[in-house]
């Protein structure tokens, strides 16, 4: 069997433009909070749900519960680990990664509760390295895979997203989020983008707004209050995204 990254895999094909000319066949949907369960591989809390829908092989990946605290494994470390594990294994070799989840939104940038956005680009706001070039590495700005037809068809809002490992927002984070020109604030996107970029798999980010970061309600309270309803809106949009992708090439998206 050929080793990964030897130039023969789907990732290399995608990088070379080959995957853009045939219908999308396999997608990985990465979420951070629990919906369903089926452990894979052994020994880790990660969960993979998989099946086929029309012409698509769909893999829904969830990092599972943290073994020590028992809560959902949110944040960049789990997101990057599972993205790497599932996007790099020979068996899956996805044509597309969809990072689906919730985000805080900035009303000053046009976000409202329950809006579902497609992020145009993602960057980190909590990796401060004030040394030339390392500063850019820390921010880790990456564009999402461009999907103009998907945006138009589903009438999605589009905005930049900033990622960090905290739900709250320190003053330092706020300054970087502002510099990142972000409409959305999440805890996984830029980490998924980093891994997707390394593996040369196109990635898109579908995020539903649970709380208004520049509003007057405490973030955790507002997040928990809106989580169930907003997740329903997210689920509906992810289904529409899958439906739209079915039968299309990457270049049609
Ligand atoms: N997910 C939902 N709301 C969030 C916020 N305010 N910050 C980071 N991630 C979030």
pLDDT average, residue stretch 164-181: 98
| Position 17 in a domain | no
Nearest CA to ligand 1 atom 5: 104
Using pLDDT thresholds of 50, 70 and 90, give the confidence band for residue 19: low
Q: Which residue has the CA at smallest separation from atom 9 of ligand 1?
A: 186
Q: Which residue has the least CA distance to atom 8 on ligand 1?
A: 186
Pocket test for ligand 1, best of 78, 180, 186, 222 (most atoms within 8 A of CB): 186
> What integer pLDDT is reported at residue 36 of this predicted model?
37
What percentage of the chain carries pLDDT values higher than 90? 79
Question: Please, are residues 83 and 191 in contact by the beta-carbon 8 Å criterion?
Answer: yes
Instruction: Report the chain's mean pLDDT, rounded to a whole number.
Output: 89
Catalytic residue status for 121? no
Residue 75 pLDDT exceeds 50? yes
- Report yes or no on 175 lying in a domain: yes
Boundaries of domain holding 110:
24-252
**221 counts as catalytic:** no
Q: What is the CATH number of the domain that holds 214?
A: 3.40.50.1580
Determine the distance separating the centroid of ligand 1 and the alpha carbon of 150, expressed in angstroms: 24
pLDDT of residue 20: 66
Ligand 1 pocket, CB under 6 A: 102-104, 167, 185-187, 210-211, 213, 219, 223
Model ipTM?
0.99
Three-state DSSP state, 15: helix
Average pLDDT over residues 156-177: 98
Q: How many domains does the chain have?
A: 1
Between the alpha carbon of residue 68 and those of residues 45, 72, 79, 80, the distances in Å are 11, 11, 17, 19
pLDDT band at 44 (very low <50, low <70, confident <90, very high): confident
Tell me the whole-structure pTM to 2 decimals: 0.89
User: What is the C-alpha end-to-end distance of the chain, expressed in Å?
Assistant: 32
pLDDT score recorded for residue 10: 41
Ligand 1 centroid to Cα of residue 184, in Å, is 8
Residue 4 lies in a domain: no
Per-residue pLDDT band at 32 (split at 50, 70, 90): confident
Please give the helix or strand (H or E) that residue 139 lies within, else none.
helix 134-139
Q: Is the pLDDT of residue 12 over 70?
A: no
CA of 102 to the centre of ligand 1 (A): 7
Structure confidence at residue 21 (pLDDT)? 77
């Amino acid at each position: 069997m050929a080793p990964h990254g030897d130039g023969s895999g789907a990732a290399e094909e995608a990088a070379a433009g080959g995957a853009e000319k045939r219908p999308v066949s396999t997608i990985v949907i990465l979420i951070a909070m629990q919906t369903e369960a089926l452990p894979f591989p052994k020994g880790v809390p990660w969960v993979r749900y998989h099946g086929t829908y029309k012409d698509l092989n769909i893999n829904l990946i969830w990092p599972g519960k943290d073994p020590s605290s028992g809560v959902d494994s949110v944040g960049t470390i789990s997101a990057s680990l599972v993205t790497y594990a599932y996007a790099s294994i020979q068996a899956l070799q996805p044509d597309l990664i969809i990072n689906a989840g919730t985000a805080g939104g900035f009303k000053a940038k046009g976000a409202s509760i329950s809006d579902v956005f497609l992020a145009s680009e993602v960057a980190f706001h909590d990796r401060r390295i004030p040394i030339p070039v390392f500063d850019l590495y820390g921010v880790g700005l990456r564009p999402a895979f461009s999907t103009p037809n998907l945006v138009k068809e589903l009438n999605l809002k589009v905005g930049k997203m900033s990622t960090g490992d905290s739900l709250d927002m320190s003053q330092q984070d706020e300054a970087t989020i502002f510099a990142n020109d972000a409409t959305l604030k999440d805890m996984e996107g830029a980490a998924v983008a980093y891994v997707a970029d390394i593996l040369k798999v196109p990635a898109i980010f579908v995020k539903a707004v649970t709380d208004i970061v520049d509003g007057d309600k405490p973030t955790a309270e507002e997040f928990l209050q809106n989580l169930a309803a907003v997740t329903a809106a997210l689920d509906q949009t992810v289904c529409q995204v899958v439906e739209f992708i079915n039968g299309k090439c990457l270049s049609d998206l």
